Structure 1
Amino acid sequence: MNIKINETVKITKLKNNKNSKLAKFFYKTGTIIGTKKIKNKILVFIIELKDYSRIWMLKKEITTLSRYN
């Protein structure tokens, strides 16, 4: 799966299902607006939701919407 900037994605998994702050983002859609490196080696994607809030997610936690079409 090759994810690009401005691509629409859906949050499909959460690494830690016990985190209630992240649970509200489950199955929401958003647009990839950038990338970020955490721990100097892990690349994550910055997602902007419809309400303009932003969250970063791992590649394995999101799916492009083109897969659903």
Structure 2
Amino acid sequence: MNIRLNEKIKIIKVNKNVNAKIIDYLHKNGITAGKKVIRQKFTVPIIELKDYTRIWMLTEEIQYI
């Protein structure tokens, strides 16, 4: 999936191995605010939510709306 900045997204699923606080963001909307490289080879989007919280999510966990 190509990461597009400033696009509206919805968090559709959360990996079972994440921090419990991230589960609170399931089914919330936000915008893509940037990109992050993890494990020196994967690029993932940084999501900004309405309360200005920023989290990174895997591309499989989000949906562009």
Please state how far the C-alpha of 1:42 moved relative to its aligned partner.
1.2
Q: TM-score, normalised by structure 2?
A: 0.89
Structure 2: how far apart are the matches of 1:6 and 1:56? 14
Partner of 1:27: 27
Please state how far the C-alpha of 1:17 moved relative to its aligned partner.
6.4
What per-residue deviation string (whole Å, max 9, x for no partner) do you get for residues 33-69 of structure 1?
111101101111000000001000000000011xxxx
Partner of 2:5: 5
RMSD of equivalent CA atoms: 1.6
Structure 1 segments (4+ residues) deviating >2 Å? none
Q: Which structure has the greater CA radius of gyration? A: 1
Q: TM-score, normalised by structure 1?
A: 0.84
Partner of 1:57: 57
Partner of 2:39: 39
Give structure 1 stretches of 5+ with no counterpart: none
Please state how far the C-alpha of 1:19 moved relative to its aligned partner.
3.8
Give structure 2 stretches of 5+ with no counterpart: none
Give the paired residue count. Answer: 65
Secondary structure of residue in 1 paired with 2:21: helix
Q: Which amino acid aligns with 2:63?
A: T
